[in-house]
Structure 1
Amino acid sequence: MPEPALGARVRIGYGLGSFATGTFGTVPGLLLLYYLTDILGVAAGVAGLLVFLPKAWDVLLNPWIGSLSDRTEHRWGPRRPWMLLGALTMPLCFAAMFAAPDLGTGPAAAYVALLFLLTATGYACFQVPYVALPAELTDDPDERARIMSWRVAFLGTAILLSGAVAPLLAGATDDERGTPGGYRLMGVVVGALLCAGMLAAFAATAGARGVLRTTSEGGLPAQLRAARTNRPFLWLLSAFVVQAAATGLMLAGTQYFATYILGRPSATTLLFACLIVPSLLAMPLWLATGRRTGKRTAAIAASCCFLAGAVVAALARHVPSGAVYGAVALAGIGYAGMQMLPMAMLGDAIAADAYTSGRRRAGLFTGLWTAGETLGLALGPGLFGLVLTLGGFVSSDADHRVHQPGSALTAIVMGFGALPACLLLLSLPLLGRYRLSESELIRLRDAAGTDPSVSTVEQL
């Protein structure tokens, strides 16, 4: 029999953690590349590399932290001590990251890269166990979807608030692109929001007892070998990484798009409102669609919505600005499903592994998942920096404006719309290979009580 539904305190409390994950996923992706090229004067190609490398470190770090959390024995549970560690370290590093000293372009760039590395490390300590929790809190696929709906609701709110407010705090107006002092203020305020969201999730999930009573598996290499046998997880992860890269591209290009294509640096706020408000409204739609047609079918439909919006955005220099904002709104509708549904499908894939193996490997799977997400989101700014370099984009510091050549403007539009559309097309066949249906998951759950070896996720 499935366990009773989780209480509102656990659902809402867990969702509050997305104020941290949504904010951190948004602000560096939105402003860090721009901070390096247009405030500190770092060349676009170098800036893209500096944004990518610390995130690439997380690709190695996250599975290791996941493995450690799987093997952690603590009265708080295996996940929450790591969540607290991240909550106490990461916000301080984040605030310091946007307070680069005036030591010249090279030292300032090195300082930002080092602080970004430390920030990403602290964030991994929170994010990996945080993402692992739903698979262990309930054995009901629908309940996991409800948990994810709360998470995505808070995620969307965090993205809207941070994406709209952070540029304003940094000093971005119709006439200004931002100031060093404004970025310092933004770092402190956003760091406080990060800390509040992390601590809220840590406190609200206290006392929640998971339904999966499994044992951890020793050794990271052994667990990585085990992960390769979970075919639904691997196909889902592959699709999610590609889609994260598309999201990262569009996110990194938003401030450039507002400044150089729309001619209004402050339009970043409106672009984010067009993206996130429809996504919040669309979440119940995607939840209902997932229940009616299955999560995979709904996830493909959501991806197609985002794809259509990106295609129109690629035509931004040839269509009215109203059409551009409408395209971003359409992408926002798809974005809600692209976030909520794969996360619920991840919980299903992890639960299926636990049913068939009898081992606690949620941390390992979520470590690989967050590593893939981190890689995708890091590839976005890196690719955008490369596109800017190929387009001849001219970097500048906060006190000087420069005229961008037409090729640079074309590069901005390509990075903001055309490349994300291509990546979405690539992700669709990968997503289609995920074949763990809700009925199959329930069958595995029911069989686990009598004969856990009756089926394996490797066959799906």
Structure 2
Amino acid sequence: MNTSVAQQLTVVQPEKIKMKEKIGYGTGDLACNFIYQTVSSYLLFFYTDVFGITAAAAGLMFLVVRLIDAVIDPFIGAVIDKTKTKYGRFRPYLLYGAFPFAGVAILCFTTPGFSDPIKLVYAYATYILLSITYSVINIPYAALTSAITQDNKEVVSLTSVRMLFGNTGGLIVSFGVPLLAGIFTNMTGETGSGWQITMTIMGILGAFLLIYSFYNTKERVQINHSKEAEINFKDIWIQLKTNRPLLIVCFFFILNFGVNSIVNSVGIYYVTYNVARPELVKWYGLMGTLPALILMPLMPLMYKLMGKKKLLFTALSLKAIGLLALFLIPPTMVPFVFAGRLIAALGTITAGAFTWALIPETIDYGEYKTGKRANGVIYALVGFFFKFGMAIGGIVPGLILANFGYVANQAQTPEALKGILITMTVIPAVFVIIELVAIFLYNLDEKEHKRILNVLKTRG
């Protein structure tokens, strides 16, 4: 590698990031979760039981939108890497994308009185637009971590605060969205209006929080591009070819967040039909997110005591145990169902948070191998696998539920109930076990990352 064309990093180091800025950064993830967690957890149910689309058609739509993402997201990442404004490279997208993101989300949860074919076209159009606007916001938001600091301890701390806010958003969504949808449905007399008003509230709150995040963060890690070091589309393939830690992290993302999305999106079906207690949906959702309030502040300490591999292995083991427990526990034993949900959530929250903290070091590794600091490209790749994982919550359940004979808004057959249970427990558990094996393929430990940072700082 010709290091003479490598990028020069001007880093304000050492500088401890103030808690005010960490909170400002964290509110961005709170905003994204207000909108996209609502989509991930409830859009499939909305399409099948409110909007009137079949489970199979909805599952196919989730797949098609992810394929479109596969084409578009790398271009978005490349554009972001070329961005130069007085506000920085990443922060402007939070400011200018906030309200378009909220507006499209509201359209996704709107039920116009179209015929069935036009209704499906409307669903495709609004969901594709939502996915694109989410990329335009979330790729630069995620990349902002590596622009705020390169210190690994500060990255873990920053990510922990971010995940605390993100999981708080998930908690509010899992409990508050069904609650509000029920309240507004009773007020308006229309289920569709209840969901639309609920999404309007979540969308507007999310937009203002993104703007708050913009005003309360700072990009410290500045990059001076030489002509030879400009980011272009081929850097996507270069990163995939040379950056082994990035490949493993992308694999984690598609499996880890795929499992989360399956469990979350099928949970409402499970509680409504298997447990036969639809009034418990909000409490079931709350149990899956509440542990974050305890775990996230402890994340830096757990990382210090256990290291990344042991921490991930422990978290994923808990996740698998909780999921398999839910498979074995009769749905009529509600307290035990909630206990299984809690065990799975402890692992889910910890593994999810720490997976995000791995990305900045893959950016450092990519710069070490290629001479280019491709923040946007790498976060676009990770973002694609994250969104594909989230979409698995619609693809897999939609197709499997249709195969087991699920029909919306009626008592389900034993076969359909079996399909719901297997989709929420056994299939995700298999994915988690694959993740446990993949942990040992991650070759960037703390000692090697520190060495790479020292090399980067000495390059002229």
> Does the TM-score normalized on the shorter chain lie above 0.5?
yes
Partners of 1:354 and 1:7 lie apart in 2 by: 27
Moved more, 252-261 or 39-48: 39-48
Give the CA deviation at 1:174: 13
| C-alpha deviation, 1:319, in angstroms | 6.7
Number of equivalenced pairs: 446
1:185 matched residue in structure 2: 197
Structure 1 residue 225 corresponds to structure 2 residue 238: yes
Matched residue type, 2:59: G
Distance 1:329 1:246 in 2: 15
1:86-126 deviation per Cα after TM superposition (whole angstroms, max 9, x unaligned): 21311001111111211233322321221111111111101
* Cα displacement string for residues 416-453 of structure 1 (whole angstroms, at most 9, x for unaligned residues): 1111111101111122211211121111111223358x
Say whether residues 1:31 and 2:36 are aligned partners: no
In structure 2, what residue type is equivalent to 1:193?
L
Larger displacement relative to structure 2 (132-141 or 213-222)? 213-222
> Is 2:129 the counterpart of 1:108?
no
Matched letter for residue 446 of structure 1: N
Q: Deviations over 1:182-236 (max 9, x none)?
A: 011112111112212221211211x432256566533212342234201111112
Structure 2 portions without partners, runs of 5+: 1-11
Q: Which position in structure 1 is the counterpart of 2:129?
A: 118
Residue 309 (structure 1) aligned with residue 332 (structure 2): no
Which amino acid letter does the alignment assign opposite residue 385 of structure 1? G
Distance in structure 2 (CA, Å) of the matches to 1:318 and 1:261: 6
- Residue in structure 2 matched with residue 273 of structure 1 by the alignment: 286
2:385 to 364, 368, 372: 372
In the other structure, the counterpart of 1:5 is: 16
Could you tell me which runs of 5 or more consecutive residues in structure 1 were left unpaired when the two chains were aligned: 396-400, 453-460
1:97 to 85, 108, 118: 108
Tell me, in whole angstroms, the C-alpha distance in 1 between the residues paired with 2:457 and 2:292.
39
In the TM superposition, 1:12-27 aligns within 5 A as 12-27=23-38
Q: How many angstroms does 1:169 deviate by? A: 2.0
Contact 2:274 2:331 in 1 (8 A): no
- Equivalent residue of 2:51, what SS? coil
* 3-state SS of paired residue (1:139): coil
Q: 1:32 to 1:318 in 2, by over 3 A?
A: closer
In structure 2, distance between residues paired with 1:54 and 1:34: 17
What amino acid sits opposite 1:265 in the alignment? P
Residue 417 of structure 1: which of 425, 440, 448 is its match?
425
1:416 partner amino acid: M
Assess if the C-alpha contact under 8 Å between 2:55 and 2:398 holds in 1.
yes
Q: How far apart, in 1, do the equivalents of 2:185 and 2:108 lie?
A: 25
Q: Which amino acid aligns with 2:202?
A: V
CA contact (8 A) 1:214 1:358 kept: no
Matching residue of 2:277: 264
Does the Cα contact within 8 Å between 1:248 and 1:376 map onto a contact in 2? yes
SS at structure 1 position matched to 2:444: coil
Aligned to 1:457: none
1:433 aligns with 2:441: yes
Match of 1:152 in 2: 163
1:177-256 to 2 correspondences below 5 Å = 179-205=191-217, 207-210=218-221, 217-256=230-269
Rounded to whole Å, the distance in 2 between the matches of 1:67 and 1:410 is: 45
Q: In 1, distance between residues paired with 2:160 and 2:222? A: 20
Alignment match, 2:455: 447
Pair 1:10–1:147, CA change in 2 (3 A): same
Alpha-carbon spacing, 1:175–1:313, altered in 2? closer, same or farther (3 Å): farther
Instruction: State the superposition RMSD in angstroms.
Output: 2.3
Higher mean alpha-carbon deviation, 157-166 vs 335-344, is at 335-344
User: How far apart are 1:25 and its partner, in Å?
Assistant: 3.4
**Which residue of structure 1 aligns with residue 143 of structure 2?**
132
Give the whole-Å Cα distance in 2 for the aligned partners of 1:213 and 1:7: 26
From 70, 74, 91, the equivalent of 2:81 is 70
Shift of 1:318: 5.9
Q: Residues of 2 paired with 1:138 and 1:84: CA distance?
A: 21
- 1:408 equivalent in alignment to 2:451: no
1:170 maps to a residue whose letter is: A
Structure 1 residues 370-427: Cα deviation after superposition (integer angstroms, max 9, x where no partner): 00010111122110011101111113xxxxx422111000111111111111110111
SS of 1:275's equivalent?
Answer: helix
Q: Could you say if the C-alpha distance between residues 89 and 48 of structure 1 is closer, same or farther in structure 2, counting changes exceeding 3 Å?
A: same
Q: Paired residue for 1:287? A: 300
Q: Is the alpha carbon distance of 1:11 and 1:404 closer, same or farther for their aligned partners in structure 2, counting shifts above 3 Å?
A: same
Whole-Å separation in 1 of the counterparts to 2:223 and 2:366: 11
Instruction: Give the deviation of 1:358 after TM superposition.
Output: 3.8
Matches within 5 A, 1:344-363: 344-363=357-376
> Is the Cα–Cα contact under 8 Å of residues 388 and 412 in structure 1 kept in the other structure?
yes
Letter in 2 for 1:346: I
- What is the match of residue 9 of structure 2? none
Change (3 A) 1:107 1:175: same
Match of 1:398 in 2: none
1:246 and 1:192, CA in 2 relative to 1: closer, same or farther beyond 3 A? same
Q: Counterpart in 2 of 1:49?
A: 60
| TM-score between both structures, scaled by the size of structure 1 | 0.91
Identity %: 24
From the superposition, tell whether residues 271 and 214 of structure 1 become closer, same or farther in structure 2 (CA, over 3 Å).
Answer: farther
Call closer, same or farther: CA 1:408–1:116 in 2, change over 3 Å. same
The residue type equivalent to 1:182 in the other structure is G
Deviations 1:50-98 (A, max 9, x none): 2332243223222211111111121111112223232131100111111
Q: Which amino acid aligns with 2:230?
A: E
Q: Is the 8 A contact 2:231 2:374 kept in 1?
A: no
Separation of aligned partners in 2, 1:153 and 1:23: 13
